[in-house]
Structures are given as C-alpha cells and as structure tokens.
Amino acid sequence: MKPLLRNLAEMTAHRDHLRLEVSVLSTLLLQGRDTRVRALEMFTRDGETWLRPRSWSEGERIVTSEYEALADPAAFALPELPELAKCIASGGKSVGRVEEHGHTLWMPVWLGERAHACLEITQPKAFTRHQRDVIAGVYLVYQNYQSLLDYSERDALTGLLNRKTFDEQFARQPGVESWDARQDPEVPGQWLAVVDIDHFKLVNDRFGHLYGDEVLILVANRLRSLFRSQDRIFRFGGEEFVVLLRSATLAQARMALERLRSTIEAHEFPQIGHITVSIGFAAAQGGAPVEVIGRADQALYFAKEHGRNQVRHYEDLVASASLGQKVAHDEVELF
C-alpha cells in the first residue's frame, strides 16, 4: 500500500495534464505482474470519434507519443472497440473484455458530459476484487483532479481556456520552430489568430453588462463549434479571443477564420441584434508567443483601421507593404 500512496501523492503534485497522466499510468502499473496500461486520447476526425494511444507502458516505464492526434499513425476509430463505444454512449464508468491473451478494462475519463480520454489496463489473468477496488479508487482520484485542473485553466464566464494556459499550449504546437509558412503555403502548419468583437464597449454602454456577458458566451459557443478538437481557443480578457489552429494550410486557416467572421455577422443576438468581429492572424513560428501575438495584433489593428468586420493575414500585409509605421497603443483606442 505504501508505494500506491506515494504514487497517489505524486499524482496530485502535478499541475500539467500530461505529467498527471503519466503518473496515473505508473500507479496503475503497480496493480499486477505483466500489466500493460495505456491512456487513449479521444478526438474528432471527419465528424467521427477516434482514439489514439497518447501514453503507454513499455515494460516498467511510461512513454508518450510524439505525434499530434490527427497525424498519429496509431489512431483508430472508436467503433473498433465496440464495448467501449457502447459504454461511452451510455455514460458508463467502466467496461471490460475477456480474450485468450488477457483481460482488458476500459475506464472513460469524463469532463462534464464529454468523455475526452480513456484509461486502458490489460493483464493475463482476471482482475481480482481487490485490484478492481484499487483501480477504481485511482481512477476517481484522477478524474476528480483532472476536473480541478481543467477548472483552473478555464475562463469562468465562457468556459474557454484562459490566458495563463496560453504559453503552455503554444509550446505544444508541433513543429513550430522548423516550419516556415513562406516555403510552401500548401504545407499544413500552425497559425495564431486574434479575434476581437467590434464596438463591444457600445454593447455594454447601451444594453448593460449582463447582455454584454451573453454576447461573450454566445461568441465563445460559436468559436467552439466552428473549430476542430485539436485547435485551441482562449479568452484573453474583455472581448478578445485567441485561436491556435493546428495542422492547417494557409487556405484552410483563412477559410476557417472567414467562416467564423461571417457566422458571427449573420447571427442575431438577443436584444442586441447583429454584431461583427475583426480578425488578425499570423504564422505561429519564428518567435516567442508574445512576438507571434504581436504580429497577429498588427493584422487585427489593420482590420480595425480599414473598416472592421474582416480577416487580415500578417504575412500578406508585410508582403504588400501595407502595414506602414505601427501606431502606439496609447494614441488610439483600438478596441
């Protein structure tokens, strides 16, 4: 029991989801001889739910995948595990399978009403009652702590990721240092977009902050529905949002952001009517997060100064020499 308690203490010392996951798998490895464990990440591809091993055991150590979910060659569709698919559809906590080579137990990890991952444990012999009790306890601690971590990373009003999580998520962008958007616009890369609600101060002034908050919530919902599961969406405060688009060509990034702009423009907000957003975006490479945000901000500023309700690309503006001298933020009210 002492090694288990030490591992549980180590689990709850982490403030990073991936490190927590590795610690949980290490704890589950203690439950039996010849035990194998995996953490399966769930993601959406072409409207279907897929899984891929994000961390797994190799002997007595835990390793993690070097791939992003969409590019992972080990990914597979959820229906390939029919027992797990049925368990998730019914909101279940665990399900098992007995085969000649071993016994497998799956435990979906829920955040609210959505299963976003699954713990998988396989061993040659059937799970004893004691093993199941210990595994269930570790699973509950893990899921509860995951929920606490997720809550600390979310904006209280919109439920989007908050600003303090941005640097960590940006650092996880695959291939940021080696990829260059100028080399081939058809090669999928990473993009950062800053989205700002036009004339939002007037909404608060005319209708009050309750209606302003409702606008922010509804815009956040549109952002969630229009971007993919591998993209990351943040509320940076006030009426400003940031989107990290992963594994997209320039054309795909532009199309996704234009779709967002037109969707917001067409939507009729209760009491408010119609609003618009301005968007600036840039390649997410060639500098620290603050530098990349600065480029996207310059594109956003250009959109604001040239009519609002438009999408502007920083690299396009640089190529056309359209940016000119940057105006200091204290000289004009940008937003």
Mapped onto helix, strand or coil, the DSSP state of residue 235 is strand
Q: Is 239 a catalytic residue?
A: yes
In this predicted structure, what is the pLDDT of residue 14? 53
pLDDT in tens, 284-294: 987 888 999 99
pLDDT in tens, 102-124: 999 999 999 878 899 999 999 99
Q: Provide mean pLDDT across the span 3-26.
A: 70
* Banded model confidence at residue 47, pLDDT cuts 50, 70, 90: confident
Q: What are the CA-CA distances from residue 161 to residues 49, 262, 301 (Å)? A: 22, 23, 23
In this predicted structure, what is the pLDDT of residue 5? 56
Cα 198 to Cα 180: distance, rounded to the nearest angstrom: 31
pLDDT in tens, 66-79: 887 878 999 999 99
Q: Are 11 and 24 within 8 A, CB to CB? A: yes
* Banded model confidence at residue 185, pLDDT cuts 50, 70, 90: low
CB-based contacts of 161: which residues, under 8 Å, 6+ apart? 153, 154, 155, 169, 232, 233, 234, 235
Q: What are the CA-CA distances from residue 234 to residues 21, 153, 250, 260 (Å)? A: 23, 10, 21, 15
In this predicted structure, what is the pLDDT of residue 334? 43
Assessment of whether the complete model's pTM goes beyond 0.95? no
Look at residue 325 and tell me whether its pLDDT is greater than 80.
no
Cα 211 to Cα 30: distance, rounded to the nearest angstrom: 53
Look at residue 183 and tell me whether its pLDDT is greater than 60.
no
Identify the DSSP state of 267. -
CB-based contacts of 181: which residues, under 8 Å, 6+ apart? 189, 250, 283, 285, 315
Among 21, 41, 239, 240, the active-site one is: 239
- Residue 234 carries which side chain, given as an amino acid letter? F
Q: Enumerate the β-bridge partners of residue 123.
A: 103
**Across 198-207, 223-232, 303-312, least confident range:** 223-232
Phi first, then psi: what are they for 290, rounded to 5°? -65, -30
